[in-house]
Amino acid sequence: GQQLNQSPQSMFIQEGEDVSMNCTSSSIFNTWLWYKQDPGEGPVLLIALYKAGELTSNGRLTAQFGITRKDSFLNISASIPSDVGIYFCAGQGIASNTGKLIFGQGTTLQVKP
Amino acid sequence: NAGVMQNPRHLVRRRGQEARLRCSPMKGHSHVYWYRQLPEEGLKFMVYLQKENIIDESGMPKERFSAEFPKEGPSILRIQQVVRGDSAAYFCASSPVEDSNTEAFFGQGTRLTVV
């Protein structure tokens, strides 16, 4: 089945630094989504991307839908302590007509004040 | 306007017992998705339901697992004769329209522990 490879697996950075994480797939996706999950909570949608090449920002977050439709990245600028959490990419495959999502393995972000 | 409500938040079952997980979608949402998350992994799709219909159960284990979304009441994920490997967080998401999981909102999850 379709899989997403998300990297890095974890990051430990200083407050104020920029962060970048990405997802790749061997197959094409129609939609790329980025979620954040806090401990004990459900995923919260950060950014949704619907077109190849699309670049979208949400505050300090910027994400892009790769032109090949097989990859996406998420950047966080000027990180702050509340950015701590697990970030997941998720995609809706081209063959899917039910809206189900394929999730990456997650990137755990830790921010040192 | 309440979000997706899942209960219980935590559930402990002994091996061989049954686990029932409930999901009340957001008001006006008629599409429900169930996902399972093992420790330190991403979410894995299990099943997609509309009212009274299972649309896609390709991610559901063939045995012991079942799901329903009745005309009235919450969606139920049922696990019979639980085993240790069923221990995980189970998330429900709901959306108002078909093929719009991108607009789906996730609940806080039910954390199942099998002892």
Q: 3-state SS string over chain B? A: CCCCEEECCEEEECCCCCEEEEEECCCCCCEEEEEEECCCCCEEEEEEEECCEEEECCCCCCCCEEEECCCCCCEEEEECCCCHHHCEEEEEEEECCCCCHHHCEECCCEEEEEC
pLDDT of residue B95: 84
Q: Which amino acid is at A42?
A: G
**Using a CB-CB distance cutoff of 8 angstroms, which residues of chain A are in contact with residue B42?**
4, 6, 88, 90, 103-106
**Using a CB-CB distance cutoff of 8 angstroms, which residues of chain A are in contact with residue B35?**
101, 103
**Segments of chain B with pLDDT less than 50:** 101
pLDDT of residue B101: 46
Distance from CA of B44 to the nearest CA of A (A): 7
pLDDT of residue A96: 61
Q: Percent of chain A scored above 90 by pLDDT?
A: 77
pLDDT of residue B96: 78
Mean pLDDT, all residues of chain A: 92
Contact across the interface for B109 and A102, Cβ inside 8 Å: no
pLDDT of residue A108: 96
Residue A6 has pLDDT above 70, yes or no: yes
Mean pLDDT, all residues of chain B: 91
pLDDT of residue A97: 62
pLDDT of residue B28: 84
Residue A99: which of B41, B44, B101 has the nearest Cβ?
B101
pLDDT of residue B45: 94
pLDDT of residue B47: 95
The model's pLDDT over B76-94, given as tens digits with 9 standing for 90+, comes to 999 999 999 999 999 999 9
Q: Percent of chain A scored above 70 by pLDDT?
A: 94
DSSP β-ladder status, A19-25 and B5-7 = unpaired
Assign A95 to helix, strand or coil.
Answer: coil
pLDDT of residue B4: 94
The model's pLDDT over A73-101, given as tens digits with 9 standing for 90+, comes to 999 999 999 999 999 999 987 666 667 88
Which neighbouring-strand residues pair with A30? none
